[in-house]
Amino acid sequence: MPEPFIIQPRSNRETPASAARLDEGPAGRGRGADIFGALAPYVADDRVTDVFVNGSAGLFVDRGSGAERVPEWRASEREVRDLATELIGRGGRHVDDSVPLVDVRMPGGARVHVALSPVAAAGTTISIRVPRLSHVDLDALGAGGAFPPAAREWLGELVARRANILVTGGAGCGKTTLLSALLGAAARTERIVTVEDVAELRPNHPHHVALEARQANREGAGEIGLARLVRESLRMRPDRIVVGECRGEEIRDLLTALNTGHDGGAGTLHANGLADVPARLEALGALAGWDDHAVARQASSAFDVALHLARNADGERRLVAVGEFRHRAGRLEIEEVRPWG
């Protein structure tokens, strides 16, 4: 018989409430952590930002300085698959052999991704991103070292003048946390509509409407993608339209919206470095049927600024570069600037 799950609860370390880092976001812990079953003790640990189950090969957790193996964890492939299926079901979606790759938002804000075997060749994988603090604001991020003190006032001015912002960086570098903090600084009278594949943005704002993409049912019908949600958001009289992660044809609808009078919008984009952002936008534009010239014209007028984040070897997330888009010779370019002293 396979060995059962072996879990040893671990104590939580208290952290100061006066400062926050970009690896911190809305809490997915406390009373709601028990929905994670055998993984609950790790999700509940205030130090943990990510939990990874690699089939029967082991459990790893990231406490801010990289993934570490949990030596006491034991689980068979069948147990991991059952746990994965249960977690996705608790998030309101389904995963099976016909739909083996699923992303879901759990109550409390944690994000769970599952890849079933044999798509995951070494066994079913479970990846959990655990946001850490609720309602992180710009002051807390600045105190935690996410950006220089001189940048705090400038970031607030960006929001106040309703600049269109693109937040870029690699996976896990804090894009969602920074964007939530920026949106939380918007005027209380504004209506913010966010569009995400899995709703993660939770700005501290009284008028926030979150739209989340819908998975197709078991018959393959009923799917609602990001591109349609962006179009629908235009009918909701938003003051700010935000796409949590631009990764497909929805970039066309976002750029179109930001070029037709919808100021104060924002989005996030995966990119290795600031210089790579134009190429990433061109690639997404191609998915929407736009050529490089169309992307250059639209993006250069849509976004006022790009904020690029990075995570260093110690796990610290910081704002490392700021760029402005330029339309030159029919191509999109980005120029690094330093807008504060």
Domain boundaries defined on the chain: 30-129, 138-337
Q: What predicted TM-score, i.e. pTM, was given to this entire model?
A: 0.77
33 confidence band (pLDDT: 50, 70, 90): low
User: CA-to-CA distance for 225 and 118, rounded, in angstroms?
Assistant: 26
Would you say residue 20 has pLDDT above 70? no
Average the pLDDT over 11-16 and give the result: 40
Residue 141, classified by CB atoms within 10 Å of its CB into exposed (0-12), middle (13-18) or buried (19+), is buried
Would you say residue 191 has pLDDT above 90? yes
Fold of 30-129: Beta-Lactamase (3.30.450)
Nearest to 128 by CA among 44, 246, 3, 202: 44
Nearest to 51 by CA among 73, 26, 22: 73
User: CA-to-CA distance for 20 and 267, rounded, in angstroms?
Assistant: 22
Would you say residue 49 has pLDDT above 80? yes
- Average pLDDT of the chain to the nearest whole number: 85
β-strand partners of 283: none
- Write down the pLDDT at residue 63: 86
Which CATH number fits the domain 138-337, given the four candidates 1.25.40.10, 3.40.50.300, 3.30.930.10, 3.40.50.450? Answer: 3.40.50.300
* CA distances (Å), origin 235, targets 231, 240, 266: 8, 12, 18
Burial code (b: 16+ CB inside 10 Å, e: under 16) for 57-90 equals eebbbbbbeeeeebeebbbbeebbbebbbebbee
* pLDDT tens digits along 52-82: 999 988 999 998 778 899 998 889 999 999 9
Which residues neighbour 9 within 8 Å (Cβ) at sequence distance 6 or greater?
41
- Write down the pLDDT at residue 26: 43
* pLDDT tens digits along 237-289: 999 999 888 888 888 888 988 888 889 999 999 999 999 999 999 999 999 89
Cα 266 versus chain centre, distance: 13
User: CA-to-CA distance for 154 and 340, rounded, in angstroms?
Assistant: 7
Determine what percent of the chain is predicted with pLDDT higher than 90. 52
Would you say residue 140 has pLDDT above 70? yes
